[in-house]
Structure 1
């Protein structure tokens, strides 16, 4: 039972921490982010198994984490508000070629991040070519250009 409580606690703590970190934190992983995730993984492993390094304890921890994940996904499907709380919602960050400064600040984004996404996905070079830019739930930036016609 101790392993189940440890797994549930660590899952919830990491869920909250990554929610606080923001959507962009996991959208594109840098070397620093990868190292941080590896260290978090090691620390999490120590917290999950405690003093019991047995195979049975490891299986209990894995099953608990998967059960929590599946349970949360079912809850998110049934309750849109919980889904929005956990996953967030898409956010409009550019409208008619104008960056929405407050929303950019809240998302910890710069105009350069939007232009990078515009170049990569649409080949656009200027903010004035962007009709809408949307920060998606997964942390990616979707670009909708003005129609050419």
Structure 2
């Protein structure tokens, strides 16, 4: 039992490392070659886990081989456009200049219902509003609306708004993020004062405390806090 437990943990950590090496893409954003490698790694990992009579190396070596192969392929596609086109394919126009490319849709086995569904998911229920739609190599549909249908931007109105930054979380689940305090050019004394202004004596009572680019504080107290 202990051997099976240890083997499972080792293979689990190995698969996690493999996924990290492949990058941070979500499953729906994987290229075909990456998806194949991910499926093969998961299958190879289950074999030594389900049968302890099989040597652990019988699962480790094929997984390591796939990792090396995938990294090599990624490096090759990075350096060679021809290799990239062969392995990952090319983006395909589904709609160009407002006209549906029927031949391309047939080649991609992409029907009208598929197209309309993807457009709805892109908040574009009316196909007449679309100028360009491109089926990317990972299966995602990129949509460009006609110029008179797109949302108005500050640039259109000759407005130059202040650049917004991502709000910094200073307290998360009762724990202080000192690196974010440093990014904000603030110290623990400033944070404690802000908490004291709100009658909070203990940071452990704070579930969330964040500050946006305008200095506006968003805070939520933990459930069951005394304050």
Q: Same fold (TM over 0.5)?
A: yes
Mapped to 2, the partners of 1:128 and 1:97 lie a distance apart of: 7
Residue in 1 that maps onto 2:110: 109
Structure 1 gaps of 5+ residues are 1-25, 29-36
Q: How many residues align?
A: 111
Partners of 2:110 and 2:28 lie apart in 1 by 12
Q: In the aligned structure 2, how far is the partner of 1:53 from the partner of 1:94?
A: 52
Q: Which has the larger radius of gyration?
A: 2
Aligned match of 2:139: 139
Identify the structure with bigger relative contact order (alpha carbons < 8 Å, sequence gap 6+): 1
Structure 1 equivalent of residue 83 of structure 2: 82
Give secondary structure in 1 for the equivalent of 2:148.
coil
Report the CA distance between 1:78 and its aligned residue.
Answer: 1.2
TM-score computed with the length of structure 2 as normaliser: 0.43
Q: 1:45 to 1:56 in 2, by over 3 A?
A: closer
Alpha-carbon shift at residue 27 of structure 1 (Å): 5.0
Separation in structure 2 between the aligned mates of residue 138 and residue 81 of structure 1, nearest angstrom = 17
SS of the equivalent of 1:124 reads: coil
Partners of 2:136 and 2:145 in 1: CA distance: 16
Name the structure with the higher helix share: 1
Checking the alignment, whether the CA contact within 8 Å between 1:96 and 1:128 is kept in structure 2 is: no
Structure 2 Cα separation of the partners of residues 27 and 101 of structure 1: 25
Output one character per residue of 1:18-65: Cα deviation in whole Å (capped at 9) or x when no partner: xxxxxxxx859xxxxxxxx9xx759x649x98xx82112211111111
Q: Distance in 1 between matches of 2:60 and 2:111?
A: 43
Between the aligned partners of 1:63 and 1:83, the Cα distance in structure 2 is 23
Unaligned runs of 5+ in 2: 1-26, 30-35, 150-227
Q: Secondary structure at the match of 1:125?
A: coil
Report the secondary structure of 2:95's partner residue.
Answer: strand
CA distance in 2, matches of 1:41, 1:79: 25
2:69 aligned with 1:68: yes
> 1:147 and 1:141 mapped to 2: Cα distance?
19
- The answer on whether the counterparts of 2:135 and 2:141 sit within 8 Å (CA) in structure 1 is yes
Alignment of 1:1-149 (within 5 A): 27=28, 45=44, 53-121=54-122, 123-148=123-148
